[in-house]
Amino acid sequence: MKQAIQLDKVCKTYGKGHTAVQAVKNAILTVKEGDFLAVVGPSGSGKSTLMNLIGALDVPECGRILLEGLDISHMTESELAQTRGKTIGFVFQQFNLIQTLSAKENVMLPMLFQGYSAGERSDRAELVLKQVGLGHRMHHKPGELSGGEQQRVAIARALANDPKIILADEPTGNLDSKTGKDILKLLQDLNKKGKTIIIITHDQSIAKKAKKIVHIKDGVVK
C-alpha cells in the first residue's frame, strides 16, 4: 500500500530564546493510502501544529514531510497552496463557511483555484452535495442550515477537488452527540470508498472509531 503522508523527524518551534516552545519534537509518522487515522491529544499538546504540518499549511524547521511522495518541506507558500488544493480536503470544527454564499456556492469556491470551468464547478458541487445528503438544501445559505447540515456542506467542500486525503480538525466538536455520530459515519463511508481520513481530536470515543490512533503529548508523537 502506498504512503499518503510521511513525517521523518519533523520539528516545529514557536518563539525564540527562553520563550521558545517546541510544539512538535522529532515526529515520525506514516499514513498509508486508505488509512483512517485519529491524532489524539489534550489542549496544548501540539496536535494543531501537527495538523498544520500534515496538511501542508506550514513547513517544518527540521526533518522532512512527504505528501504523496512529494517533499513539501521547503516549498514556497504558493507551491504549498497548489499542492494541498489538489491533494487535501479540510474540514474544520467551526465549519468556516462563507455566510453570504449558498451551500452550492461554498462548495464551488475551492474549484475556482484549480482551473475548473463554471459548468464543471456547478456540476461537481451538485454531485458532492448529493453525496453528503444535501441535494435538497444546496441553495440555502449557512444561516438557514443546522449545525449538522453546515458540517455536511463543509465535507462536500472538502471533496470538491476530489482529494485523496481528508483532514478533519475536531469535526464533531460543535455538534450534538447524534449529529456527531452521523458526521463520523459519513467520514467512515468516505474511507470505505478509498479516501484517506485523518481526524484531529481530544475525544477518545471518536478516536476509537478510527483504524489507527496516534497520541501526541508535549509535542511528542507516540
For position 138, what pLDDT does the model report?
96
* Proportion of the chain above pLDDT 90, given as a percent: 85
Is there a contact between 99 and 145 (Cβ–Cβ < 8 Å)?
Answer: no
Range list of β-strands (E), the chain? 3-14, 21-32, 36-40, 62-67, 70-71, 88-92, 165-169, 196-201, 212-217, 220-221
Is there a contact between 167 and 156 (Cβ–Cβ < 8 Å)?
Answer: no
Range list of β-strands (E), 69-124? 70-71, 88-92
The average confidence (pLDDT) of the chain is 94
Is there a contact between 159 and 89 (Cβ–Cβ < 8 Å)?
Answer: yes
Q: Residue 34: helix, strand or coil by DSSP?
A: coil
For position 20, what pLDDT does the model report?
86
What is Dmax (Cα atoms) for the chain?
Answer: 55
| Residue 220 pLDDT level (bands cut at 50, 70, 90) | very high
For position 66, what pLDDT does the model report?
96
Annotation: CATH topology of 3-221? Rossmann fold (3.40.50)
- Single-letter amino acid, residue 38: A
- Single-letter amino acid, residue 34: G
Chain centre to alpha carbon of residue 82: 15
| Residue 44 pLDDT level (bands cut at 50, 70, 90) | confident
| Residue 47 pLDDT level (bands cut at 50, 70, 90) | very high
Q: What is the mean pLDDT of residues 168-194?
A: 94
Q: Is the pLDDT of residue 21 over 90?
A: no
Pair type for strands 212-217 and 36-40: parallel
For position 198, what pLDDT does the model report?
97
The DSSP secondary-structure symbol of 18 reads G
Each residue's pLDDT tens digit, 76-123: 999 999 899 999 999 998 999 999 999 999 999 999 988 899 999 999
Is there a contact between 105 and 112 (Cβ–Cβ < 8 Å)?
Answer: no
Alpha-carbon gap, residue 17 to 22, rounded angstroms: 11
For position 63, what pLDDT does the model report?
96
Is there a contact between 24 and 53 (Cβ–Cβ < 8 Å)?
Answer: yes
The DSSP secondary-structure symbol of 166 reads E
H or E element in which residue 201 lies: strand 196-201
For the ranges 18-22, 70-74, 138-142, the maximum mean pLDDT occurs at 138-142
